[in-house]
Copies of this chain bind each other. A is one copy, B any other.
Amino acid sequence: MAGKKASEPRTETGHGTDQSALVGLRQVAIAAGVSTATVSRAINTPHLVSPKLRERINEAIDRLGWVPDGTARALATKRSSTIGAVFPTLTHGDFARATTAIQQELQACGYTLLLACSDYDVEQEFRQIKKFIERGVDGLILVGENHHPDLARLLARRNVPTINTFVYSPDTHGTCIGPDNRKLFFDMTKYLIDMGHRVFAVVAQSVENNDRAEARLQGIQDALAQDGIAVRPQHFAIGQWSISEGRHLFRRVMTSEPRPTAVICGNPSLAVGAYLESLAMGLKVPDDVSIVGYDDIEVMSHLPVSLTTVRVQSEQVGRNAARYLVARLEGEDIEIPFQCDTEIVLRESSGPPPGNPATN
């Protein structure tokens, strides 16, 4: 393999391009004494080529060290075996886990993942999707249901199968997979109401361009409405996604009158922040106030007072999203479980409101 030649290929420079650039299907065909069509078949549909030739071809392939050119193949077949995913961010645990799962699943099926982050910006997302389509992705994985107004047309026009993740609603139109965000928080709120809580605070992230967060808020309000309750304006705190924000907002709602007995947090960072602030404020959880969160991150179960939260199987979401697309591309018309498993994980941070020791 080594000793090529040329005048003075003294050291590294690694211009290995000399001959290796020339090795294509053609060269393999010549080396094996067959036509290019046969080589192609030996690769893609081995059973259509005689064992003898197959043997010779394979031998030639790894003698020449040929690697098929995916680009050319994609052009010829009009399938890139590539899936694009656009997530708002990767720094949130659930998206990171889903992405990992997607990649794993795709890889197992011979697909490659193209990734982009929209940073919760619809325009940006749209641009990235267009880019992906230019690149010829065979399918698309997005988050949420509200996208750029022109997206639907574009997808239909180019006929790109798409699945919306982390969102599910019984009456939805598109193809989506995820938790029923509204119901999830509806149930969680119901649970708190049943325990006797009447004064609720909400500490959540902005719902801008985030229909999941919006649905969750709706769930809370719907549940409360059933009992004629509402979240008072001073108990409704919207902010960034961070622990420190959780602390601020928690303190704010807890220092306003009347003092809430239950604080529902919209994401794990806010919940952890809320709890840590309660610690700093010298409040007893859950005796003075119940705190519940969304998404189960590891630290939640390890804090001095473990946090009640909602667990969403992000991996499952990712895996099934990938699986769905692949199946659809392979022609199978599968029905994946579009609603993913969720669970309200009851831990120490939630209990009856103060002065109401046992309603349960």
Contacts and interface: CB of A to CB of B under 8 A. Distances in A.
B69 A134 contact: yes
A158 B18 CA distance: 10
Contacts of A70: 134-136
Interface in A112-141: 112-117, 128, 130-136
Interface residues on A, range: 35 or more
A316 interface: no
Contact of A157 (B65, B89, B90, B247): B65
A220 to B, nearest CB: 25
B135 A117 contact: no
A22 interface: no
A273 interface: yes
A281 interface: no
Interface in A202-219: none
Contacts of A80: 71
A276 interface: yes
Contact of A100 (B91, B128, B172, B302): B91
Interface string A285-296: 000000000000
A230 to B, nearest CB: 31
Nearest to A96: B90
Interface string A49-90: 000000000000000010111111011000010100000011
A103 B116 contact: yes
Contact of A303 (B97, B133, B175, B276): B276
A279 interface: yes
A17 to B, nearest CB: 5
**Oligomer copy total:** 2
A107 interface: yes
Contacts of A100: 89-91, 117
A165 B230 CA distance: 51
A130 B91 contact: no
Top 10 closest pairs, chain A to chain B, by CB: A14-B156, A16-B157, A70-B135, A90-B96, A115-B115, A70-B134, A71-B74, A71-B136, A71-B75, A243-B298
A319 to B, nearest CB: 13
A15 interface: yes
B97 A302 contact: no
A200 to B, nearest CB: 24
A116 B104 CA distance: 8
A62 to B, nearest CB: 13
22 contacts: A1-B172, A1-B173, A14-B155, A17-B159, A20-B157, A20-B158, A67-B130, A67-B133, A69-B136, A71-B75, A89-B100, A90-B97, A91-B100, A100-B117, A103-B117, A104-B117, A107-B116, A112-B132, A243-B298, A272-B302, A273-B302, A276-B303
Contacts of A358: none
A25 to B, nearest CB: 13
Contacts of A357: none
A37 B97 CA distance: 46
Interface in A1-50: 1, 12, 14-17, 20
